[in-house]
Amino acid sequence: MTATKPPSGTRDFLPDDVRRREYVIGVIREVYERYGFEPLETPAFENIETLLGKYGEEGNKLIFKILRRGEHEERGDADLALRYDLTVPLARVVAQYQNELPKFFKRYQIQPVWRADRPARGRFREFFQCDIDSIGSTSPVVEAEELGAVVEILRSLGFVDFRILLNHRQILTGLLVVAGVPSSQHEAALIALDKRDKIGEAGVASEFAARGIDAQSAERLFTMLREFYTPSSKPVGLVNADRFTSLDGYLGTTEYSGAVDNLREIVRLVKGTSAAEYVNVDPRLARGLSYYTGAIMEIAVPDLAGSLGGGGRYDNLIGLFLGRDVPACGFSLGLERIIVVMTERNMFPTDVVHRAVDVMITMWNEDTRGDALALASDLRRAGLRVDVYPEAEKLGKQFKYAATRRVRFVAILGDDERAQGNVSIKDLGSSEQQTVARAEAGAFIKQRIEANG
Amino acid sequence: MTATKPPSGTRDFLPDDVRRREYVIGVIREVYERYGFEPLETPAFENIETLLGKYGEEGNKLIFKILRRGEHEERGDADLALRYDLTVPLARVVAQYQNELPKFFKRYQIQPVWRADRPARGRFREFFQCDIDSIGSTSPVVEAEELGAVVEILRSLGFVDFRILLNHRQILTGLLVVAGVPSSQHEAALIALDKRDKIGEAGVASEFAARGIDAQSAERLFTMLREFYTPSSKPVGLVNADRFTSLDGYLGTTEYSGAVDNLREIVRLVKGTSAAEYVNVDPRLARGLSYYTGAIMEIAVPDLAGSLGGGGRYDNLIGLFLGRDVPACGFSLGLERIIVVMTERNMFPTDVVHRAVDVMITMWNEDTRGDALALASDLRRAGLRVDVYPEAEKLGKQFKYAATRRVRFVAILGDDERAQGNVSIKDLGSSEQQTVARAEAGAFIKQRIEANG
């Protein structure tokens, strides 16, 4: 007998799980569409060379690789690989369909990705990303719009206590330069800084030391960054004003002042939108991926290590596929983390896990099967969700089954009912039972449902 | 530079493609739910031993296998495999969650599957199956309900000229026995018979010969089967009555008469439903998969080689995972074939490929970016889908862009408009332009959209 658990790090979604997921995806999709993003879907796997080398050394190891088939299978090498994120496939799509896509291509994509990470609480090997990306413009309007969409989604789902941290890769570079870290060590420094939430400042310091960054530069950097720590009690607006003053102080006379001005403009644009009170300039934010070139963003909620989502500007990635650079900026929401937090906090509306079925038609005996199915046909035509109990078992057993399945109405087609062209409808909520003409059964039940939900 | 095509046999879905797919999936899901089926989702990959040996020798070769990771990668062997259909994962789920699922579990599942078939027109390596399965009952009510759901979907999508072919594995077995084919050759005979549409009767005959089935038995079988050829002009109801008479003649006194009675009861049950006029008993139907044990079904449309979907009863498959048999019957619709036929016949409603955006806000100059975003916020709050042109280019260029994106309204926030708290709205359909108070812009546009679509 074969084992029956799903593979390590993956999950089966039973009906109520699917309903909760569909609810969240529905909200995300609706908001993305109101922000003018259009749907895109790409294959689950890509040619392996499309993915290799795009996610850094660590990423290469986490890619699921697919064996060549047929006579090549025995060689044991791979020619395909499962989608690791939605950004690299998008870059490929932009290059492939450049003549069919609009100049400013705004797409959303809600699909699973696969990473061979060690499974842990809230970390899966198959998980959904819900991405938006705007291709073709360097305007800070792009970042402001994406921040607006993400805030509106989180608000619509019922989140109130989040912040969206905002930084710029060139600000981090500027601070590294000011601290005296040589440019050859910048990439290593960013990777270490990105782990601060997990390993603390002391952990970052020892990674710096291990990578040969001198202690004095490290201490100068940490001193600057400490200043940007946010006590959660501080109003966001005030924080942003303070931070621009500090950043001007450190970088105002350097070539990195443009990055500060870029963030200042994004914050200004966001002010007229619902995102205003959630955006928090945070020069400590690093983000792991190496392809970012401009603004970077991440959602922080108090009771979650790790973020609900993040993104940033990456003006060079598409060039790897197209041969010329095209500006781009994206934001990715992590569906499972949103669902983990919403479940823990009991944030789902009660009607998300709804009744699967409005009416169950009981089976009187085997000769009445045809009648039962004809009644089901009528009720479904009236728009009701209808189940037919397949076996002519005792009626009490059939009622009990309906109750465990959260069905509200059962329909009985007994000998009397059939002789008179009627059907008896029992409301399992109130235990009331009423006999109505068959032709009116659909309208009768619909009216009851509309009257008291 | 990396290549930019999707992998062989897979496709990228640009926005209009996704909209067409979502339309069909929406119809399918809505009907399945009205028939009392509940949603289920399973992981994209399974442990490899879950899939191997379930689809026959040919199937094993077409399974995409995933390399072990980390230090094991070099060994070149596989521990996971991409989902090949939705039935085997369902059987695993039923065994794994037997205590959580209802006694009669009716689930639908709409997810991609992957097969390393040679790509051809309408045959892909990644394609969606839209399955229903009813677990736990041997009642013919199950088959009748599934036939009803499938017919209602096809009707809702606009199909009128299809038939659902209905047969029973035990009827085929009975005819093979009557023809004198020994039982050791039945499986081979079914595989050959399943190819008749592709290779013709002569092709089947030579496969029979190659597999050692004697020519006399083969000819006896073909003679019986020829009788069941359906000229498409013949009314379905009449065909069914005729066929039961013939089948009773061949099998009425054998142990296979129960299978004929089972089909007769399914046809009787379907009579009161909308499926009645589409169901066509066809003893020539074989179906490829080896796990079927009872009724088998397949959708035939005149202009498509191959079917839009099919299914059948498989009462032993779940036992491979659970250790005891549980009756089950399913039907699978092929999304891409439905879309291929609908596209060729121009069956999509015109509003499926809808405007992505209702209003585009033009950008007057860089100083008015904040105003543009604030207006976008207001209009989105009114429920409109709104885009903001990110660059302050010439207005004519911005209008042209809106037109190519099928946007109907553009909003202009010029110096006069902003000074007076107004906004100008231009209808790109009628070329009319009107200036309205900013607070009323949302209502103004919504009213126009509702008035003339």
Distance between CA B255 and CA B439 in Å, rounded? 79
Same domain, yes or no, for A331 and A193? Answer: yes
Distance between CA A334 and CA A337 in Å, rounded? 6
ipTM score here?
0.94
- For chain B, the distance separating the N- and C-terminal CA atoms, rounded to the nearest angstrom, is 45
Q: In chain B, which among 182-221 make CB contacts under 8 A with chain A?
A: none
Instruction: Give A77→chain B minimum CA distance, Å.
Output: 6
Q: Which of A60, A90, A73, A80 is nearest to B7 (CA)?
A: A80
Residue A56 confidence class, pLDDT cut points 50, 70, 90 = confident
Q: Specify the pTM.
A: 0.94
Distance between CA B145 and CA A378 in Å, rounded? 13
Q: What percent of chain A has pLDDT over 90?
A: 81
Tokens encoding B102 = 């209802």
Dump pLDDT digits (tens) for A57-68.
788 899 999 999
Q: Specify if B8 maps to a domain.
A: no
Q: Specify if A7 maps to a domain.
A: no
Q: Specify if B388 maps to a domain.
A: yes
Q: Does residue A121 carry a pLDDT above 80?
A: no
Give the ranges where A180-287 is alpha helix by DSSP (H). 186-194, 196-210, 215-226, 236-251, 257-270
Distance between CA A384 and CA A450 in Å, rounded? 12
Instruction: Name the strand (E) or helix (H) holding B198.
Output: helix B196-210
Planar angle of CA A111, A112, A117, nearest 5 degrees = 150
Same domain, yes or no, for B273 and B418? Answer: no
Q: Which of A324, A344, A364 is the last residue of a domain?
A: A344
Bridge partners of A410, per DSSP, are A360, A426
Q: Specify if A84 maps to a domain.
A: yes
Tokens encoding B197 = 């549409």
Same domain, yes or no, for A378 and A331? Answer: no
Same domain, yes or no, for B308 and B381? Answer: no
The pLDDT of A28-39, averaged and rounded, is: 97
In Å, what is the CA distance from B184 to each residue of A87, B256, B285, B290, B318? 54, 18, 20, 14, 24
Same domain, yes or no, for A313 and A380? Answer: no
Q: Specify if B351 maps to a domain.
A: no
Residue B76 confidence class, pLDDT cut points 50, 70, 90 = confident
Q: Specify if B41 maps to a domain.
A: yes
Distance between CA A309 and CA B388 in Å, rounded? 23
The pLDDT of A242-256, averaged and rounded, is: 95
Tokens encoding B74 = 């070099």
Partners of A137 on chain B (C-beta within 8 Å) are: 390-391
Comparing CB atoms, the residue among A43, A67, A116 nearest residue B7 is: A43
Dump pLDDT digits (tens) for B237-250.
878 888 999 999 99
Q: With an 8 Å Cβ cutoff, are B320 and A2 in contact?
A: yes
pLDDT of residue B215: 93
Structure-model confidence comparison of residues B17 and A54, the more confident one: B17
Bridge partners of A300, per DSSP, are A163
Q: Does residue A70 carry a pLDDT above 90?
A: no
State the residue for tokens 């109801």. Answer: B237
pLDDT of residue A278: 94
E-assigned strand segments in B149-275: 163-168
Domain of A277, CATH number, reads 3.30.930.10
Instruction: Give B423→chain A minimum CA distance, Å.
Output: 16
Instruction: Give B164→chain A minimum CA distance, Å.
Output: 18
Q: Which of B324, B344, B364 is the last residue of a domain?
A: B344
Tokens encoding B422 = 């107004």
- For chain A, the distance separating the N- and C-terminal CA atoms, rounded to the nearest angstrom, is 45
Tokens encoding B352 = 């499926």
pLDDT of residue A1: 65
Put simply, whether A356 touches B (Cβ < 8 Å) is yes
Residues 6+ apart with CB under 8 A from A60: A52, A53
> Among all residues of chain A, which has the CA nearest to that of B149?
A377
Q: Which domain holds residue A419?
A: 355-452
Same domain, yes or no, for B304 and B184? Answer: yes
Same domain, yes or no, for B26 and B69? Answer: yes
Q: Is A225 exposed, middle or buried (0-12, 13-18, 19+ CB in 10 A)?
A: buried
pLDDT of residue B1: 66
Q: Which of A238, A250, A242 is nearest to A277 (CA)?
A: A238
Dump pLDDT digits (tens) for B267-321.
999 998 888 899 999 999 998 777 899 999 999 998 777 899 999 999 999 999 9
Distance between CA A434 and CA A424 in Å, rounded? 6
Same domain, yes or no, for A211 and A271? Answer: yes
Put simply, whether A382 touches B (Cβ < 8 Å) is no
Same domain, yes or no, for A296 and A439? Answer: no
Same domain, yes or no, for A289 and A373? Answer: no
Domains identified in chain B, total number? 2
Put simply, whether A437 touches B (Cβ < 8 Å) is no
Q: Does residue B339 carry a pLDDT above 60?
A: yes
Q: Which of B132, B79, B197, B116 is nearest to A65 (CA)?
A: B79
Same domain, yes or no, for B313 and B432? Answer: no
Put simply, whether A30 touches B (Cβ < 8 Å) is no
Q: With an 8 Å Cβ cutoff, are A42 and B320 in contact?
A: no
Q: With an 8 Å Cβ cutoff, are B386 and A35 in contact?
A: yes
Same domain, yes or no, for B312 and B443? Answer: no
Q: Is-contact B95 B73, C-beta < 8 A?
A: no
Q: Specify if A35 maps to a domain.
A: yes
The arrangement of strands across the sheet holding B163-168 comes to B38-39, B105-114, B126-135, B328-334, B309-313, B295-300, B163-168, B279-281
> Among all residues of chain B, which has the CA nearest to that of A114?
B44
- Count of residues making up chain A: 453
Q: Which of A314, A344, A374 is the last residue of a domain?
A: A344
Domain of A432, CATH number, reads 3.40.50.800
Instruction: Give B16→chain A minimum CA distance, Å.
Output: 8
Q: Which amino acid makes up residue A72? A: H
pLDDT of residue A396: 95
Q: Which amino acid makes up residue A156? A: S
Q: Which of B17, B38, B61 is the best mutation test for A, with the most CBs of A within 10 A? A: B38
pLDDT of residue B453: 55
Partners of B67 on chain A (C-beta within 8 Å) are: 64-67, 76, 78
Instruction: Give A6→chain B minimum CA distance, Å.
Output: 7
B403-422 burial, b if ≥16 CB within 10 A, otherwise e?
Answer: eebebbbbbbbbeebbeeeb
Q: Is-contact A296 A168, C-beta < 8 A?
A: yes
Q: Specify if B123 maps to a domain.
A: yes
DSSP A283-340: TT---S-TT--SEEEEEE-TT-SS-SEEEEE-SSTTHHHHSS---EEEEEEEHHHHHH
Q: Does residue A300 carry a pLDDT above 70?
A: yes
Partners of A10 on chain B (C-beta within 8 Å) are: 43-45
